[in-house]
Copies of this chain bind each other. A is one copy, B any other.
Amino acid sequence: MTGRDGGADIGPIGNSPVVILVRPQMAENIGTTARAMANGGLFHLRLVAPRDGWPQSRAWRAASGADRILEEATVFDTVDDAVADLHHVFATCPRPRHIVKTMLTARGAGAELRAICGRGLRAGLMFGPERAGLDNEDMARADALIRYPLNPDFMSLNLAQAVMIMAYEWWMATDDTEPRFLITNETHVATKGELNNFMRHLIHDLDECGFLRNEQKRPGMVRNLRHFFERGEVTEQELRTLHGVVTELTRGRKMRTP
């Protein structure tokens, strides 16, 4: 009935923050929330008074395999019950008004949650219902509020999108991927010597065909070509292809002009 077919293997479930959906309205959003949680390595879901009851098969259909999160989700009547065993609770709130509270960005919250969970404490992330968001009573139960820096002219954020950004920042808080790198797979980045071999090949053939016959312009033209080929990392495989291109173009020319 709920489509509980096991779903995907979503990876190890460690001491990660609990996602608490407070009075969620649409079962689809609970499913897409579970999917976003799995994307970012959040696995513990709690529901406070879901409007249409629980479980709901529509949630499983929207979860794209994050079934384990839905199956292990627990339901509570009140926010107080849902947070009773937690040490820290952060609540997302796009537009806090008339409130005195610590505010965190999503990135700041990601870092603090890693620190809290790293100390063996249990943390929760509270998200409000789709239309109204968390009410003042809910927010008073949080240590801090999270507000995402996003376009202030268009703050209407889908519930699962809000969960996605927090899950992403939770994951990014310990990620150390270089922001830019070259993937090379089977091949390797060429050395300067290998690149120079190709440049010698190219210049030799360009000399032969007469492209560099203007002795005055020759050094500048060669330098420009070198600048072009030096601009980024070149792989050994690409150099082999480039050698082949020059060789074949030269041979073609020789065959046409015997």
Q: What B residues does A145 contact at CB under 8 A?
A: 183
Is A113 interfacial (CB-CB < 8 Å)?
Answer: no
Q: What B residues does A99 contact at CB under 8 A?
A: 183, 185
Closest to A109 in B: B179
**Interface bin, chain A:** 35 or more
The listed residue (B39, B155, B158, B237) touching A151 by CB distance below 8 A is B39
Whether the pair A180, B107 counts as a contact (CB closer than 8 A) is no
Q: What B residues does A154 contact at CB under 8 A?
A: 8, 10-11, 38-39, 65-66
The listed residue (B112, B150, B181, B185) touching A168 by CB distance below 8 A is B150
Q: What B residues does A104 contact at CB under 8 A?
A: 179-180
Whether the pair B158, A102 counts as a contact (CB closer than 8 A) is no
A67 to B78: give the CA distance in the assembly, Å: 37
Contact with B along A89-113 (1 / 0, CB 8 A): 0000000111111111101100110
Q: Interface stretch among A46-54, A170-178, A206-214?
A: A170-178
Closest to A112 in B: B180
A104 to B156: give the CA distance in the assembly, Å: 28
A186 to B96: give the CA distance in the assembly, Å: 13
Closest to A236 in B: B100
A86 to nearest B CB, angstroms?
19
Is A36 interfacial (CB-CB < 8 Å)?
Answer: yes
Is A41 interfacial (CB-CB < 8 Å)?
Answer: yes
Interface hub of A39, A96, A149, A238 (most chain B Cβ within 10 A): A39
Q: Interface stretch among A117-125, A159-167, A217-225?
A: A159-167
Is A187 interfacial (CB-CB < 8 Å)?
Answer: yes
The listed residue (B41, B158, B164, B185) touching A165 by CB distance below 8 A is B164
Given contacts A172-B107, A183-B100, contact A38 B151 (CB under 8 A): yes
Whether the pair A149, B164 counts as a contact (CB closer than 8 A) is no
* 21 A-B pairs whose Cβ atoms sit less than 8 Å apart in the complex: A32-B158, A35-B161, A39-B150, A39-B151, A39-B154, A39-B157, A40-B150, A40-B151, A98-B186, A100-B187, A100-B235, A100-B237, A101-B183, A102-B182, A103-B181, A104-B180, A107-B172, A144-B180, A149-B172, A149-B177, A160-B161
